[in-house]
Structure 1
Amino acid sequence: MTIWVDADACPGAVREIVLKASRRTGMPVVMVANRDMPEPKAANASFVRVSAGAEVADHYIADHVATSNLVVTADVPLAAQVVERGALAISPRGEEYTAESVRQQLSMRDFMESMRGAGLAGGGPAPESQRDRQAFANALDRWLARQTGPND
């Protein structure tokens, strides 16, 4: 079991929540990014720097994820690949991606991309809030509880 973090766009507060959970549980964490980042400060955490380029970190995670793993990402196409491989993906806002929800999000993403291309929509997601961070921490704790079970 490993927690993979798509660290390029992951908020620092969410990365820190993951590292605190790793320190508490001993769960291995791999942060993947295509830019330099500080080494994660947890005994079971590591950092993989991939080459620059669009989706290089996503491809690395998708190629290495196993069914018992968790991936933290806001990237819907990566989440779709993770779910397809039988692993769990959650967003930095605590939303658990399912096969159905990821299909809907991909459709909405494509629609909004075409709207932005036509100049009919702008902007991006709302800034991350304390409520989002709490929802993420709760989703992470639920996953960790399922991994360790009641007798561990």
Structure 2
Amino acid sequence: MKLIVDADACPKSVLQICMKLARDYSIPVWTVASFNHNIVSEHHVVVGNSSQEADIRVMNLAQAGDVAVTQDWGLAAMLLGKGVHCLSPAGREFDPAKIEFLLEEREAKAKFRRGGGRTKGPKKRVTEDDQKFEACLQNILTLISV
């Protein structure tokens, strides 16, 4: 088992939480990011900055039973199909039964924006987000480490 972090848009606090919990559970952390990011990790994979390049590398690294951190719903859907446990940096575990709804919602919002509509962006990250993420990751690691 390994913890894979789609580190292109991952907050530094989330990356630190991943490193800490991975040490506690003795599992390796793999980070994947474009060369534009300065990430210090024992297992860091640098990719180009082409669209989807980091996602493709994450998919190639992932195996059933791994845990992945990503805020990309499309990547999460593909990882869930491989048997990978996925959660977002906000501490939301992606559920295989609900991912299709999330993807449909994402497409509807994108269509609305293409038509000139405006949607709200993400809320500013707060300390509670880090706490929620840590609790969610801890729960996943506890369940699959048994």
Common fold, TM-score beyond 0.5?
yes
Cα shift at 1:129: 1.9
Which residue of the partner structure matches residue 37 of structure 1? Answer: 38
1:124 aligns with 2:121: yes
Ranges of 4+ aligned residues in structure 1 off by more than 3 Å: none
2:115, 2:29 → 1: CA distance?
40
**Structure 1: 5+ residue stretches without partners:** none
Count residues with an aligned counterpart.
145
1:134 aligns with 2:135: no
Cα shift at 1:123: 3.7
- TM-score, normalised to structure 1, is 0.89
Which residue of the partner structure matches residue 67 of structure 1? Answer: 64
Cα shift at 1:49: 0.3
1:57, 1:132 → 2: CA distance?
24
2:101, 2:9 → 1: CA distance?
22
2:124, 2:106 → 1: CA distance?
18
- TM-score, normalised to structure 2, is 0.93
2:106, 2:31 → 1: CA distance?
25
2:118, 2:96 → 1: CA distance?
27
Q: Pairwise CA RMSD of aligned residues?
A: 1.3
1:148, 1:120 → 2: CA distance?
45
Amino-acid identity (%) = 29
1:105, 1:90 → 2: CA distance?
13
Which residue of the partner structure matches residue 20 of structure 1? Answer: 20
